[in-house]
Amino acid sequence: MTLENDLRQYASATLRNRDPIFEVLVNVLPPTGNILEIASGTGEHAVYFAPKLKNHQWIPSEPDAMRRESIDSWRKFCPSPNCHSPKNINVLNSTWTDGLTELEITAIVNINMIHISPWEACLGLLQGAGSLLPSTGILYLYGPYKQGGKHTSPSNQSFDDSLRHQNQAWGVRNLEDVIEIAEEQGFKLMKTVTMPANNLSVIFQKS
């Protein structure tokens, strides 16, 4: 298929991680319901997961206008009736959940955002998820983490260094810090799953 106005962007990591992520999602998501993806980026995950989750509605979101255009281009290239148009959501905005309660979100998915954003973005995500998700709602986080304040591999240390060189507010976060904040927002840690390339899937459930 050729698009007349192809605005699709590509993230090289998507092809490597989408299947391992899906294997975790399919085992932790509620059997049905509306899934809100925060920081959908290029949109490649959204259009890959949605057709495989036919009993769910996948709602992507992205604060960057060019990436929202990419998501819509991917939706045209890989149409799926349960993959929605992207919402303009920035978790740094304390009111980002306004107007979303009517969507009856049962799960929130966030892939590779927490380390490529200020710590305040993680706080905003967790606070908003705590107010938006119902009891038993699922919060899924994916990315690299330090554990016990230490990197889990030399490659993650190098990656962290490169992130902080680009922006001092970025960086690989300490898993225990994320868990502590999530618990303050009414979540309990269900499990962590070791993923390829020294990443983790971190799954919380709303109490």
Q: Token pair of 143, please? A: 């990315």
pLDDT at 2: 56
Residue 39 sits at the vertex; the CA angle it makes with 35 and 40, to the nearest 5 degrees, is 70
Backbone torsions φ then ψ of 112, nearest 5 degrees: 55, 50
CATH entry, 12-206, from 3.40.50.150, 2.40.50.100, 3.30.499.10, 3.30.450.20: 3.40.50.150
Contact (CB, 8 A) for 138 and 107? yes
Domain ranges of the chain: 12-206
Other CB atoms within 10 A of residue 131 CB:
11
| Mean per-residue pLDDT pooled into runs of 10, the chain (207 residues) | 79 94 97 97 98 98 98 97 98 96 96 98 98 97 97 96 97 98 98 97 97
Which residue stretches of the chain are H helix? Answer: 12-28, 44-49, 65-77, 119-132, 154-166, 175-184
pLDDT at 3: 60
Q: What is the C-alpha separation between 176 and 76, in angstroms, rounded? A: 40
Distances from the Cα of 31 to the Cα of 28, 34, 50, 87, 175, angstroms: 9, 10, 13, 23, 27
pLDDT at 111: 98
